[in-house]
Amino acid sequence: MRANRLGAALAVALSVTCVSGALVSCGSGEPAGSPEAAPETAAPQGPVKLTYWAWAPNMDKIVKVWNAANPDIQVTVSKQAGGDDAAAKYLTAAKAGNPPDLVQAEYQHLPSFIAADAVADLKAETAPIKGEFSDGLWNLVTLGTDAVYGVPQDSGPMMLFYRKDLFDKYGIEVPETWQDYAEAARTVRKKDPKAYLGTFSSKDPGAFTGLAQQAGAQWWSISGESWKVNVADEPTRKVADYWGGLVKEGAIDDMPYFTPEWNKALNDGKLLTWPSAVWAPGVLSSNAPKAKGKWAVAPLPQWNAGENFSGFWGGSSTAVSARTPHKAAATKFATWLNTDQEAIDLLVKEAAIYPATTKAQSALGEAPAYFSNQPDFWQQAATVSAGARGFTFGPNVGVTYNAFKDGFDKALQDGTPFSAAVRAMQDVTVADMRKSGFQIAP
């Protein structure tokens, strides 16, 4: 899609300016200490003014509450476009020397911010709130190191969304394992040759990443000073080949998510499931409004019966710019926004996020309107969330994700095995990291 290509173009342009180094010094070449070490002015004149880039809806309303209560720290929200482009834009701004003080950072983009020295380490300031989050989520903002690069805001544990009415009609049980899911896919094809149980999207690396996490993949890890990259590990290949097999035999469709034809299939009842994340009700209610009340939710099918694993698709944190002269104030705001009860209530209500703190997750009450037929929606989500496992993201997720799109597009077109596409992702990722000067552990 255009947006993603734009992100890639920005990233490429950035790395070009980095290589030539003509205008600004880039990344680690710059002594990161100087802006960070700038001491907070002892007696600030007037209120501290902070800018905050975010794309979550109605963030300005939430910030208004903070501003009213904290006249000495005034935050201005600037609503940005989300996604990969937002990350590229923030990196560009950080390299040019005028980033905002705070930024909404998706978990998978945080490592690229860290690698560019664009976000501050909040270890000391966030020590008291560490216990509010599950280890899995906390790991996403620490990357398994001692530092803390952001405060988790929302999370996207994956679940299986399915058309309850059509499952009943075709006599299909909710699949408990992926083997069941494959069987169900074949049944659907027999009952209605125009309908599919699901589809494999070659345009949404985030979804595939979540499924790989569920299977236990660990694409990146840090050992000492070097990175271990294992995108084509055994769980990932297993997931890829599973979906590749289903697509090849025609048991599931291969149209990408979030396209008009996909919306139409959802509306017409030609797609019966969507393995997606907890934020799916928002998407479904806008893209398939006709099917309101017909969907239900269940945990993702498991690889081995009796397990209870899930992965993450999406989710973001609030990070503080490494260049901000008001690190303490910014961290104070980030902490309030993501752990204060009033703020979380507002986030849930106004920004429609699935909160990151464990306590808030279990306190969610009424199910989303689209799922009014499933009163235990949030309890299901909390259960799934407890079993969701993420992994450390690497510094060049954008490159890996683009390799996913290229590789799986081609695999779908040529009918080649999906595991080959996964291997290509691994090769491209490692090559790019080498080029950028990262040490790769064998």
Question: Which residues contact other proteins by CB under 8 A?
Answer: 3, 6, 10, 13-14, 17, 23-24, 51, 53, 55-57, 60, 78-83, 85-86, 89, 92-93, 95-98, 100, 154, 156, 260, 263-264, 266-268, 277, 279, 282-283, 285-290, 314, 351-354
Comparing CB distances to other proteins, the nearer of 361 and 429 is 361
The three-class DSSP label of residue 312 is strand
Mode of pairing for the β-strands spanning 48-54 and 102-106: parallel
Distance CA 362, CA 375 (A): 14
3-class secondary structure, 440: strand
- ∠ Cα 425 431 432 (to 5°): 90
Q: 94 vs 172, which CB is nearer to other proteins?
A: 94
- CB of 302 or CB of 317, closer to other proteins: 317
Q: Minimum CB separation from other proteins for residue 82, in Å? A: 4
Task: State the nearest-atom distance from the C-beta of 166 to other proteins, in Å.
Answer: 17
* Rounded (5°) CA angle 18-20-26: 25
Cross-strand bridge partners of residue 317: 105, 152
Question: In the complex with other proteins, which residue's Cβ is closer, 144 or 289?
Answer: 289
Dig out the tokens for 310 from the structure: 């899930």
Angle at alpha carbon of residue 154, lines to 149 and 155, rounded to 5°: 100
Closer CB to other proteins, 315 or 394, in the complex: 315
Alpha helices in 288-417 (DSSP H): 327-339, 341-350, 358-362, 377-386, 397-414
**Strand pairing class (73-79; 48-54):** parallel
Sign, CA dihedral 399-405-407-410, equals negative
Q: Is the CB of residue 277 less than 8 Å from the CB of residue 299?
A: no
58 vs 226, beta carbon nearer other proteins = 58
CB of 234 to other proteins, least distance (A): 29
CB of 97 to other proteins, least distance (A): 6
Q: How far is the CB of 289 from other proteins (least distance, A)?
A: 4
Closest separation in Å from C-beta 389 to other proteins: 20
Comparison of 265 and 430: residue with beta carbon closer to other proteins: 265
Tell me the C-alpha distance between 67 and 44, whole Å.
17
Can you read off the two tokens belonging to residue 43? 């007696």
- Could you tell me which residues come within 8 angstroms of residue 20 by beta carbon, excluding any fewer than 6 positions away? none
- Would you say 13 or 19 has its CB closer to other proteins? 13
Q: Which helix (H) or strand (E) holds 433?
A: helix 418-435
Minimum CB–partner distance for residue 276 and other proteins (Å): 9
In whole angstroms, the minimum distance from the beta carbon of 24 to other proteins comes to 6
| Shortest distance (Å) from residue 328 CB to other proteins | 22
- Of 121, 100, 101, the residue nearest 110 (C-alpha): 121
Helices of type H across 70-193: 84-96, 110-115, 123-126, 135-142, 164-170, 178-191
Q: Closer to other proteins at the Cβ: 241 or 350?
A: 350
Cβ(237)–Cβ(422) below 8 Å: yes
Spatial CA neighbour of 153 closest among 120, 114, 101, 107: 107
Residue closer to other proteins (CB basis): 234 or 366: 366
* Shortest Å distance, C-beta 284 to other proteins: 9
d(CA 14, CA 91): 8
Question: Minimum distance from CB of 11 to other proteins (Å)?
Answer: 11
User: Considering beta carbons, is residue 160 or 353 the nearer one to other proteins?
Assistant: 353
In 254-303 the beta strands, taken as DSSP E runs, fall at 273-277, 295-299
